[in-house]
């Protein structure tokens, strides 16, 4: 969750760290802090955003060419100055920034208290830094040994950077269950919890693996396991444009990312659809194609928006490839003793590739010897690396906490994957395959047409910005879209919203409908059209306000609904990709009208690397 950045080299660390923290702020933003070394170690930290930290240190000494910074998303202890990172050990020997959760912190805290340690904060991180110091002083270890020994004692997840007073020319970084990347420059190194703060400095990076510990000085880097075995670092070249992580003139990253979708979908399909639009293939899963073709069952795991994409995947894979599919929340799957057979295929969907529950589900499935595939956006992320094969969505960096372009790219990838499997399994005719490919390839231009309704979406949003509840209804392929629409609204505008299969409305939610309740109905022309028209009538009969997403030229619903947003006609199976776009815009403009911080909604984080 939190963001970590570190620098060691010949430049001033402060501007590099601040810029890095700004890029990482989407990971957490309740407090921020920085430690710099230049003759002495100095730590500054404050509740609030990175800009508050900048104000806070304006008059302070900001010199130093070694340093680290942190932007926090609270797990243990409320957001305040004291709980903010970095945390210093009691005798001032060590300073740490940490992302993750130390699960046995409370028993360790008791032991350290018995040894005379007192704690200033409520955090698990302060326990860890004091444990490191205790081991260092008690057993006369080197700094690296003390960190290593402490990490062998703690359980839980972490990515961390440690600085020490006694070996002040070094940064020590370690990772278990939380991402960490090291950038290699000329005589300088960058550390960060993802590549976004590193990209403008160097393209050569090392992705740390779980249980890796790196000791970095200006002169070099040594990588070892927690068991003290030397690891040969694998250097990767980053393929990411800096422009992709800037706002490019939009007010918010979320709006920029919504508007990028015509392009991101092209990127997801690039190289996967043949130039004559007659065939589709995914190079990343070709090595396991025989198992896929013979699959008896697919289990899709994911969280949040990625879980919604998985639900669309279920409809797609069952329709085109005729394979039974189950869709699971990562968090439920990992703890409910699922029955997994070695010939099961598990597909983990994750934008970040780092979500702790999804990653744990991947590991569980691998232990059961199931084949595990990943559908990830972030190249080189943990899930991408730990799965046997997979598909990258290539949507580019998604910074807005509410996922938009990642969702449409995930669904696009799932659609082309289902088509490929259908073709290989003989469950999809060539004619239907070509129709579907052509539908998919035309989606980008149709999204552009939906984006042209931006002002209309904004107009409707302004009318209902003060509503207290919203209901979202859809049927078939559009039921997961209803869920996603409701989630978007909740996440960024803090309005209570529920998504429901339209037919289920009469089994409960209909009781909520009155003249104050906006009901967003996704009612495009498909197999369920007549039925959803009836559902709209049911809402209107109870005086609900209907905002309907309809196919272009629909006159029937126009008569009944309070507002319609027209979208181009598409085949039902690709309609989720298109129909979610107006829902994204509605949520965005409602949140803006309510004065909410769209890109950094309260309590949320972009990448949830804790349980
Ligand atoms: C967080 C984010 C959501 C995201 C979910 C899963 O809750 O706020 O936007 O859908 O995590 O993230 P993933 O990176 O695994 O897709």
The per-residue pLDDT for range 176-220, each reduced to its tens digit, is: 988 899 999 999 999 999 888 999 999 999 999 999 999 999 989
Q: What is the CATH number of the domain that holds 570?
A: 3.40.50.10490
Shared domain for 17 and 144, answered yes or no, is yes
- Among the candidates 441, 462, 485, a domain finishes at 441
Shared domain for 454 and 410, answered yes or no, is no
- Is pLDDT of 29 > 90? no
Shared domain for 530 and 585, answered yes or no, is yes
CA angle, corner 524, sides to 519 and 528, nearest 5? 90
DSSP 297: -
* 401 CA distance to ligand 1 middle (Å): 8
Shared domain for 469 and 432, answered yes or no, is no
Q: What is the structure's pLDDT at 1?
A: 61
Q: What is the structure's pLDDT at 177?
A: 81
CA 334, 331, 522, 452 torsion: positive or negative?
Answer: negative
Please answer whether residues 336 and 329 qualify as being in contact, where contact means their C-beta atoms are separated by less than 8 angstroms.
no
- Among the candidates 422, 441, 460, a domain finishes at 441
Shared domain for 413 and 496, answered yes or no, is no
Q: Which residue among 308, 401, 608, 611 is best mutated to probe the pocket of ligand 1, counting the most ligand atoms within 8 A of its Cβ? A: 608
In the residue annotation, 606 being an active-site residue is answered as yes
Please answer whether residues 202 and 237 qualify as being in contact, where contact means their C-beta atoms are separated by less than 8 angstroms.
no
- Is pLDDT of 556 > 70? yes
Shared domain for 129 and 232, answered yes or no, is yes
Contacts of 367 (CB under 8 A, 6+ apart): none
Q: Which residue among 26, 310, 351, 400 is best mutated to probe the pocket of ligand 1, counting the most ligand atoms within 8 A of its Cβ? A: 351
Q: Which of these is catalytic: 256, 405, 490, 606?
A: 606
pTM of the model: 0.80
Residue among 484, 464, 491 nearest 576 (CA): 484
Shared domain for 398 and 283, answered yes or no, is yes
Specify the residue with its C-alpha closest to ligand 1, atom 8: 606
Ligand 1 pocket at CB < 6 A: 303-306, 350-352, 355, 358, 401-403, 604, 606-608
- Among the candidates 441, 462, 488, a domain finishes at 441
What region, left, alpha or beta, does residue 543 occupy, with left being phi > 0 and alpha being psi -120 to 50 degrees?
A: left
Residue among 383, 386, 371 nearest 302 (CA): 383
CA–chain centroid gap for 334, Å, is 19
Shared domain for 485 and 429, answered yes or no, is no
Q: Which of the four pLDDT bands, split at 50, 70 and 90, describes residue 437?
A: very high
Distances (CA, A) of 245 to 252, 485, 550: 12, 25, 33
Q: What is the CATH number of the domain that holds 227?
A: 3.60.20.10
Shared domain for 256 and 390, answered yes or no, is yes
Structure tokens at 278: 């007659």
Q: How confident is the model over 569-595, as pLDDT tens digits?
A: 999 999 999 999 999 999 999 999 999
Q: How confident is the model over 116-147, as pLDDT tens digits?
A: 999 999 999 999 999 999 999 998 899 999 99
Shared domain for 332 and 304, answered yes or no, is yes
Domain count, the chain: 3
Cis peptide before 546 (omega within 30 of 0): no
Which carries the bigger pLDDT value, residue 399 or residue 306? 306
Q: Which of these is catalytic: 2, 303, 376, 457?
A: 2
Query: Which of ligand 1's atoms lies nearest the C-alpha of 605?
Result: 8
Give the span between the Cα atoms of 451 and 449, in whole angstroms. Answer: 5
Identify the residue whose tokens are 């350290």: 112
Q: How confident is the model over 324-335, as pLDDT tens digits?
A: 999 999 999 988
Please answer whether residues 414 and 375 qualify as being in contact, where contact means their C-beta atoms are separated by less than 8 angstroms.
yes
Shared domain for 395 and 533, answered yes or no, is no
> Where in the sequence is the domain holding 535, given as residue range(s)?
450-611
Average pLDDT over residues 474-484: 97
Shared domain for 233 and 275, answered yes or no, is no
* 428 CA distance to ligand 1 middle (Å): 32
Structure tokens at 465: 């910005």
DSSP 321: I
Alpha carbon distance, N-terminus to C-terminus of the chain: 10
The half-sphere exposure of 244 on its side-chain side, counting CA atoms within 13 A, is 18
Give the span between the Cα atoms of 333 and 349, in whole angstroms. Answer: 13
Please answer whether residues 221 and 184 qualify as being in contact, where contact means their C-beta atoms are separated by less than 8 angstroms.
yes
Give the span between the Cα atoms of 96 and 41, in whole angstroms. Answer: 12
Give the span between the Cα atoms of 376 and 413, in whole angstroms. Answer: 10
Q: How confident is the model over 60-107, as pLDDT tens digits?
A: 999 999 999 999 877 777 889 999 999 999 999 999 999 888 989 999
């Amino acid at each position: 969750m939190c963001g970590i950045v570190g620098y060691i080299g010949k430049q001033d660390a402060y501007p590099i760290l601040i810029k890095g923290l700004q890029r990482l702020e989407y990971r957490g933003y309740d407090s921020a802090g920085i430690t710099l070394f230049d003759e002495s170690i100095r730590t500054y930290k404050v509740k609030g955003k990175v800009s508050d930290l900048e104000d806070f240190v304006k008059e302070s000494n900001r010199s130093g060419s070694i340093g680290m910074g942190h932007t926090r998303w609270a797990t243990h202890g409320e957001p305040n100055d004291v709980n903010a990172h970095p945390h210093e050990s009691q005798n001032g020997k060590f300073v740490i920034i940490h992302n993750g959760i130390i699960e046995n912190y409370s028993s360790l805290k008791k032991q350290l208290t018995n040894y005379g340690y007192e704690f200033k904060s409520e955090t698990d991180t302060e326990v860890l830094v004091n444990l490191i110091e205790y081991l260092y002083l008690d057993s006369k270890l080197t700094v690296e040994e003390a960190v290593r020994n402490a990490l062998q004692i703690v359980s839980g997840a972490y990515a961390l950077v440690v600085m020490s007073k006694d070996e002040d020319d070094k940064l020590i970084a370690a990772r278990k269950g939380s991402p960490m990347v090291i950038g290699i420059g000329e005589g300088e190194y960058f550390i960060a919890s993802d590549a976004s703060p590193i990209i403008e400095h160097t393209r050569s990076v090392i992705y740390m693996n779980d249980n890796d510990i790196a000791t970095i000085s200006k002169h070099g880097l040594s990588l070892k396991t927690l068991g003290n075995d030397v690891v040969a670092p694998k250097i990767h070249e980053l393929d990411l444009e800096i422009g992709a992580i800037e706002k490019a003139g939009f007010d918010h990253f979320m709006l920029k990312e919504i508007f990028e979708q015509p392009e991101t979908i092209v990127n997801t399909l690039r190289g996967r659809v043949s130039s004559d639009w007659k065939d589709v293939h995914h190079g990343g899963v070709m090595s396991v194609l025989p198992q896929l073709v013979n699959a008896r069952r697919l289990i899709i795991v994911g969280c949040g928006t990625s879980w919604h994409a998985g639900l669309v995947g279920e409809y797609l894979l069952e329709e085109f490839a005729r394979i039974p599919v189950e869709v699971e929340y990562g968090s439920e799957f990992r703890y409910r003793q699922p029955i997994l057979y070695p010939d099961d295929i598990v597909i983990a969907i994750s934008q970040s590739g780092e979500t702790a529950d999804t990653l744990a589900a991947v590991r569980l499935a691998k232990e059961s010897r199931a084949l595990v595939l990943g559908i990830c956006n972030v190249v080189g992320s943990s899930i991408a690396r730990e799965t046997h094969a997979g598909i990258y969505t290539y949507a580019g960096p998604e910074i807005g906490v509410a996922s938009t372009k990642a969702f449409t790219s995930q669904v696009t990838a799932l659609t082309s994957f289902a088509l490929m499997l259908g073709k290989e399994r003989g469950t999809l005719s060539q004619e239907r395959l070509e129709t579907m490919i052509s539908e998919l390839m035309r989606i980008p231009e149709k999204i552009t047409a939906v984006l042209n309704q931006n002002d209309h979406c904004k107009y409707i949003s302004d009318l209902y910005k003060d509503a207290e509840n919203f209901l979202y209804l859809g049927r078939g392929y559009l039921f997961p879209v209803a869920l996603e629409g409701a989630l978007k609204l909740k996440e960024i505008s803090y309005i209570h919203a529920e998504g429901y299969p339209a037919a289920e409305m009469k089994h409960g939610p209909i009781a909520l409908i009155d003249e104050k309740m906006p009901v967003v109905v996704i009612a495009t022309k498909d197999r369920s059209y007549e039925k959803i028209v009836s559902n709209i009538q049911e809402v209107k009969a109870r005086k609900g306000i209907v905002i309907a997403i309809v196919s272009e030229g629909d006159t029937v619903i126009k008569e009944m609904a309070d507002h319609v947003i027209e979208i181009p006609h598409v085949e039902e199976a690709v309609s989720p990709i298109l129909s979610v776009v107006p829902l994204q815009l509605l949520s965005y403009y409602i949140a803006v009208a309510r004065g909410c911080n769209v890109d950094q909604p309260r309590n949320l984080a972009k990448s949830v690397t804790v349980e």
